[in-house]
Structure 1
Amino acid sequence: MVGAMGFQYLMLVQLTWVGVLLISGTGAAGVAAQLARPNCPDRCGDVEIPFPFGIAEGCYLNGNFNLSCDHSSGVVHTGRNINITNISIEEGQLDISMYVAHQCFDESGFLQTNIKSNRSLSLTAGSAFTVSYTQNVFVAVGCDTYSYFNGFTSNDSFSMGCLSRCTNIPGVVDGSCSGLGCCKVEIPPGLKYFTLEAFSFGNHSEIWSFNPCSYAFVVKQDQFNFSADDLYTLKDKEALPMVLDWAIGDEICENAQSNSNFVCGGNSTCYDPENSSGYRCKCKLGYDGNPYLRDGCQDIDECSKNLDNCDKETQLCNNSPGGFYCSCLEGYEGDYNGTSCHAKVNKSNVINIALGISFGLLVLLAGGWWSSKVVKKRRMIRQKNIFFKRNGGLLLQQQLSSHEANVENTKLFNSKDLEKATDHFNVNRILGQGGQGTVYKGMLADGRIVVVKKSKVVDEGKLKEFINEVVILSQINHRNVVKLIGCCLETEVPLLVYEYVPNGTLSQYVNGQNEEFPLTWDIRLRIVAEIAGAFFYLHSVASIPIYPRDIKSTNILLDDKYRAKVADFGTSRSITIDQTHLTTLVHGTFGHLDPEYFQSSQFTEKSDVYSFGVILAELLIGEKAISSTRTQESKSLATYFIQSVEENNLFDIIDSQVLKEGKKEEIIAVAKLAKRCLDLNGKKRPTMREVAMELEKARMLQKAPKLQQNYEEHEYVQEVVYKPWEASTPSTMSTLSIDTQPLVSFQ
């Protein structure tokens, strides 16, 4: 009788505590999380204002976070005139409205002057804000549009452009922003200031009905999905959403935590965001609220928020700071914190049951481990075979085994060799990243230093053309063309292996980034002669002509002896001997692109000659192909150079070292050659053969100025012009059609 009454008393006490805990948990859950400082407004219209931001004196951390509330226009950043639509504590981001740059025409084709064709945003160095490169993209929209985007980061300045063309609405694809009506470009990290401008080639008179304007803007990428309607309706939109990243101060957590003005509150942690000079705060696991307030992170009552944390039938949920634990109800037992409760059993049977379970689990685990190893190994072998076949491995093996193909120097690497060579594709081995893939530096088992290109995508419909192009590149044996060593096809995307070229790009060299080896006039002549010889070889000496199509100084590498190496065939096309041109979508780089090719979309060998002429101008003047420091009319180096030559101002713009070391007649001869290469009429440009011969002749005359420049000497130059390139051409090569995929890239 007493035992039964005691048990009932214990059950009554336990149920009472359950009620107390449930009541206290409900109360805690009902308290709203504090966002602003005490006695400070925490909202302006629909926008919450969490600390460190504030809209009243004493409510914000410092001037970076001082906001004003205008009930007509919303939340505005004081001093920067930025309209804010949302503030995120968790992500460290601001949603703002950014103006759109327009260039519009009326129905008669006259330019409307009441709208702005350029926009800018300045966040100033040292401020808490940067333009988010993960959330935003630079976009240009229009059927006759080109736009510029110039900006400054905390470390550097840059310029880039976007080109959008189309002739009618049916040619535009909704959701696609690849150049037909719409183009987009990723922006770099750490952006503090930018300007963008929208331009048109014509007056839109032919396309006014569906595209009266050209547009350029930076937009939150998940808030803009291009459609054909945008060509007309964007003119009615003054601004679009954009995202800013923000951080506290200008120190990382390790340094900031020792300062008196450190703002991360209790139950929070400090972390350093990527590409930011400051730090951010976040609540610890099990806490929620504003981590920038002293007591902003409050404990989450897991027991009241999720009643399924513990087994209701056998366990009681108990809240604790930062978490919870389960305890066993009366009549049940389990481990020390009640995570597994079961009815009490006779302890004499526990040992036997535990031993039996343990032995059974041990057998199951051993068998499962062995089986998983076997299955995993078979799956890996099967997956590699699938990748090998999908990436054209069988076709390449057939080419390798063919006596006529003569490609025995091409090596098929296995994936383990290249993983070992690149330390499992360690990020510290990355040399560069581009639109087509990532480039790693590696060392093969035989000690050779190589470059391994890991593509981003593979087009299964173009495998035959891809393999044929690999075969063609493997047969290029020219000392001024980067050598393709081999490839690996048993991975998800093909891996391509090239020789390593150590001394950077010609662009870096021209812009004074190498002080140990000055760029003398002799070296400049030698480099352009080597480049011209390489392109003459690709155009005329190779068994199938190859047009690189993206000739620029950043694609010319320099080896250990500072000899030129032509790289990056990412947009190249091969063409049969009886063809005079090929028609493609326009590919190339602003400042280097042939205007005739841009207008007609028909690429010829003379288009490469134009791009080579830009390199000649760069080496003569010592400036980049596109420069924001020159006037609007002369941003293009080609235009600037031609204007200066025609106005007889050549020696006012020539690089000082060229003037110091080069003879006047030599400089004029090279300048005239560059002007011929840059002729807007492609038929009037010289061939790469003629360019190579003239440059080689200039070098020879420089070394022996007293020689007579007669007919015999000219013939002698024609005979020896091939020798410096030391090229060997295989007797047989596979033929590619005009529409082959781009050759492999070194970006």
Structure 2
Amino acid sequence: MAGNRSTEGATGCSYASVVKKDAFEFSSDMLTRKWEVKGLPMVIDWVIFNDTCSNSRSTCQGNTTCVPFEGPDGGYRCACEKGYEGNPYLHPGCLDIDECEKGKNNCSENATCENKPGGYSCHCKEGYEEDGEGGCQLPSKHEKNVNVIVLGVSLGTIMLLITSFCLYLGYRRRKSVQIKEKFFRENGGFILQQRIAQGGVCSGTTRIFTAEELKKATNNYDQDRIIGQGGFGIVYKGHLLDGRIVAVKKAKMMDPTQVEQFINEVIVLSQINHRNIVKLFGCCLETEIPLLVYEFISNGTLSEHLHNKEKASKMPWLIRLKIASEAAEVLSYLHSAASPPIIHRDVKPANILLDSDYTAKVSDFGASRLVLQDQTQLITMVQGTLGYLDPEYMQTHQLTEKSDVYSFGVVLVELLTGRRAVFFDGPEEERNLSLHFLSSLKENRLFMILDDNIVCEENTEELQEVALLAKRCLNVNGEDRPTMKEVAVELGGLRRAAKHPWINNNSETSMESHALLVNPPIPFEYDATFSMTTTTEYDSLKHHMKLPVAAGR
């Protein structure tokens, strides 16, 4: 400020001052009296000319901002960001302002201040709540009641859901137990338990398994555990907790009227201890259809080996004769030694299992029937497998032990020929193996249908004898068939002779066998029923059949 005119009452001096904007207020008294500067703030600022904010990083320090200068020469200056103070040009730049400590905040008395970089925040103290205007106040009694009600309803709802879920699980568990008890009762579980308690069943070897045990053993009946299936049902491979590997048979259906008969079969089969019968470990009666638990046989079925070219080539005649002899011994045992006798009813290669040593194990007694002492015949619905069914049984519905003999005769023919019992893809006259076999036998063409894997010069006589035995088993009239005991004795003799071929040491017999291979056949006649009634006819056939071993078949 400067003055050089005479002004009434004004001092004659001239002076000027530089102060911070808004820190000085002009008054007319300053013109009539001496004014003393007692100290006013002064700010000196500058502008960096001829430059832009894009180059301000090296000039402006931390927590600062660049302010462009509006002038003809351009330029910029540095300023602290909001909430920071200090020299923006000197390191480390502007520092945070603690609004809470310096009182530079607008938090209410019922709130606490929390300092933050470049600012602060207010939080209501415990017991207070925001009033919607930035302040804090105690909640009203109504709001407290509402909060209590909301909390109570929420907790009540949660507890209700938990209780309902627990009740539902309990209901499901009780329902499951009731269903299992119902099936257990309907499937004869109490009868079996009573028999076990009375000593009718050996409790040490026969168990009543729970449904949960077998579910775990089969990995919830995993598809990868299936080892066999057909019209009867499905068989799963299972692992029991005691380490045993088992076969769990899950049938497709069961006749409710045959429950007691089923239990009787389980009881009888559990008492059978024969090395060539698949052992029954027990059963599960808690499912709609009972489950049977057998020992696991590792090498598959005889059917799989006979009808697979690679496997059939590894089954020479001696192995097939061994299998036939062992299976015959089982049926003979069931018919003669078991008490009461048992008719298998479904004898076929698929029900003859083989272990790693090709030992035969007869299985699948699901269709079997017990023969009581006062019964020699059972009148039943026709049940069995096409191609193995006894024609007499199909006509009369009268089931006898000779029905198993017929079915075993078909098995013998399959062992000899390697062909299936029923083959729909071939010529019509060859579709039924039994009829085709008998026809070939009558026409003196036996060796034209035998399996190439079993025919050799040393066993031609054995093959003929087994073929004739099969023919007797396939007799239409059941009374003319041999018993399974007779069949087992004959096959056992052939097997022992094959193991100890003392006949081959006889030069006269060897010459006779050689003559059979080179001499033309002598024709012979069969009766209408293909029955073998005399030993003379049997010997005649054995010694005069044409044996074209070297001929192509």
| Structure-1-length-normalised TM-score | 0.46
Q: Secondary structure at the match of 1:659?
A: coil
Distance 1:435 1:702, change over 3 A: closer
Q: Alignment partner for residue 402 of structure 2, among 573, 588, 606?
A: 606
Q: Secondary structure at the match of 1:394?
A: helix
Segments of 5+ residues of structure 2 without an aligned counterpart are 1-141, 506-553
Distance 1:612 1:461, change over 3 A: closer
> Partner letter of residue 295 of structure 2?
E
| Residue 475 (1) aligns with residue 271 (2) | yes
Could you say which residue in structure 1 is the equivalent of 2:418? 622
Distance 1:411 1:661, change over 3 A: farther
Q: Secondary structure at the match of 2:453?
A: helix
Rounded to whole Å, the distance in 1 between the matches of 2:375 and 2:312 is: 46
> Partner letter of residue 482 of structure 1?
V
| Residue 400 (1) aligns with residue 200 (2) | no
Post-superposition shift, 1:397? Answer: 0.9
* Cα contact 2:239–2:245 (8 A) shared by 1: yes
| Residue 528 (1) aligns with residue 315 (2) | no
Post-superposition shift, 1:537? Answer: 0.7
Q: Secondary structure at the match of 1:663?
A: helix
Post-superposition shift, 1:349? Answer: 9.9
**Which has the larger Rg?**
2
Q: Secondary structure at the match of 1:442?
A: strand
> Partner letter of residue 413 of structure 1?
F
| Residue 676 (1) aligns with residue 472 (2) | yes
Distance 1:425 1:638, change over 3 A: same
Measured against aligned partners, the alpha-carbon deviations of 1:327-350 in whole angstroms (never above 9, x if no partner) come to xxxxxxxxxxxxxxxxxxx99998
Could you say which residue in structure 1 is the equivalent of 2:303? 507
Q: Secondary structure at the match of 2:228?
A: strand
* Cα contact 1:439–1:452 (8 A) shared by 2: yes
Distance 1:445 1:387, change over 3 A: same
Post-superposition shift, 1:460? Answer: 3.8
* Cα contact 1:422–1:443 (8 A) shared by 2: yes
| Divergent runs of 4+, >6 A | 346-353
Could you say which residue in structure 2 is the equivalent of 1:638? 434
> Partner letter of residue 553 of structure 1?
P
Could you say which residue in structure 2 is the equivalent of 1:387? 183
Q: Alignment partner for residue 561 of structure 1, among 357, 379, 397?
A: 357
* Cα contact 1:399–1:407 (8 A) shared by 2: no
> Partner letter of residue 659 of structure 1?
V
Measured against aligned partners, the alpha-carbon deviations of 1:384-417 in whole angstroms (never above 9, x if no partner) come to 3333222222111110011355564211112222
Post-superposition shift, 1:665? Answer: 1.2
Rounded to whole Å, the distance in 1 between the matches of 2:468 and 2:255 is: 43
Rounded to whole Å, the distance in 2 between the matches of 1:575 and 1:689 is: 17
* Cα contact 1:407–1:474 (8 A) shared by 2: no
Rounded to whole Å, the distance in 2 between the matches of 1:651 and 1:454 is: 41
Rounded to whole Å, the distance in 1 between the matches of 2:338 and 2:203 is: 15
Could you tell me the percent identity over the aligned residues? 50
Distance 1:517 1:421, change over 3 A: farther
Measured against aligned partners, the alpha-carbon deviations of 1:448-505 in whole angstroms (never above 9, x if no partner) come to 1101122334444332222111101111211111111011223333221111112111
Rounded to whole Å, the distance in 1 between the matches of 2:173 and 2:385 is: 46
Could you say which residue in structure 1 is the equivalent of 2:485? 689
Which aligned pairs between 1:73-152 and structure 2 lie closer than 5 A?
A: none
| Residue 371 (1) aligns with residue 167 (2) | yes
Distance 1:459 1:350, change over 3 A: farther
Post-superposition shift, 1:354? Answer: 4.8
Measured against aligned partners, the alpha-carbon deviations of 1:92-136 in whole angstroms (never above 9, x if no partner) come to xxxxxxxxxxxxxxxxxxxxxxxxxxxxxxxxxxxxxxxxxxxxx
Q: Secondary structure at the match of 2:502?
A: coil
Rounded to whole Å, the distance in 1 between the matches of 2:312 and 2:433 is: 27
Which aligned pairs between 1:198-597 and structure 2 lie closer than 5 A?
A: 354-406=150-202, 408-512=204-308, 514-515=310-311, 518-597=314-393
Measured against aligned partners, the alpha-carbon deviations of 1:176-197 in whole angstroms (never above 9, x if no partner) come to xxxxxxxxxxxxxxxxxxxxxx
Distance 1:406 1:349, change over 3 A: closer
Post-superposition shift, 1:676? Answer: 1.1
Cα RMSD for the two superposed structures: 2.6
* Cα contact 1:400–1:408 (8 A) shared by 2: no
Rounded to whole Å, the distance in 1 between the matches of 2:393 and 2:428 is: 22
Distance 1:406 1:367, change over 3 A: closer
* Cα contact 1:407–1:475 (8 A) shared by 2: no
Could you say which residue in structure 1 is the equivalent of 2:519? none
Q: Secondary structure at the match of 1:479?
A: coil
Rounded to whole Å, the distance in 2 between the matches of 1:391 and 1:578 is: 26
Could you say which residue in structure 2 is the equivalent of 1:278? none
Distance 1:476 1:519, change over 3 A: same
Q: Secondary structure at the match of 2:293?
A: strand
Rounded to whole Å, the distance in 1 between the matches of 2:216 and 2:262 is: 26
Rounded to whole Å, the distance in 1 between the matches of 2:189 and 2:260 is: 10
Could you say which residue in structure 1 is the equivalent of 2:95? none
Q: Secondary structure at the match of 1:451?
A: strand
Post-superposition shift, 1:671? Answer: 1.1
Larger RCO (CA under 8 A, 6+ residues apart): 1
Q: Secondary structure at the match of 2:314?
A: coil
* Cα contact 2:265–2:369 (8 A) shared by 1: no
Distance 1:661 1:355, change over 3 A: farther
> Partner letter of residue 646 of structure 1?
K
How many matched pairs?
Answer: 364
Q: Secondary structure at the match of 1:657?
A: coil
Rounded to whole Å, the distance in 2 between the matches of 1:387 and 1:404 is: 22
Distance 1:627 1:455, change over 3 A: closer
Segments of 5+ residues of structure 1 without an aligned counterpart are 1-345, 710-747
Q: Secondary structure at the match of 1:372?
A: helix
Measured against aligned partners, the alpha-carbon deviations of 1:538-594 in whole angstroms (never above 9, x if no partner) come to 111111111111211111111222211111223221112343322222222222112
Measured against aligned partners, the alpha-carbon deviations of 1:215-238 in whole angstroms (never above 9, x if no partner) come to xxxxxxxxxxxxxxxxxxxxxxxx
Greater strand share, 1 or 2? 1
Rounded to whole Å, the distance in 2 between the matches of 1:444 and 1:517 is: 35
| Structure-2-length-normalised TM-score | 0.61
Distance 1:513 1:356, change over 3 A: farther
> Partner letter of residue 400 of structure 1?
I
Rounded to whole Å, the distance in 2 between the matches of 1:598 and 1:459 is: 20
> Partner letter of residue 247 of structure 2?
V
Which aligned pairs between 1:166-185 and structure 2 lie closer than 5 A?
A: none
Distance 1:637 1:458, change over 3 A: closer
Q: Secondary structure at the match of 1:571?
A: coil
Rounded to whole Å, the distance in 2 between the matches of 1:516 and 1:675 is: 23
* Cα contact 2:306–2:312 (8 A) shared by 1: no
* Cα contact 1:521–1:661 (8 A) shared by 2: no
Q: Which moved more, 1:379-388 or 1:414-423?
A: 379-388
Q: Secondary structure at the match of 1:658?
A: coil
* Cα contact 2:422–2:432 (8 A) shared by 1: yes
Q: Secondary structure at the match of 1:454?
A: strand
Could you say which residue in structure 1 is the equivalent of 2:18? none
* Cα contact 1:582–1:602 (8 A) shared by 2: yes
Rounded to whole Å, the distance in 2 between the matches of 1:516 and 1:508 is: 9
Post-superposition shift, 1:422? Answer: 1.0
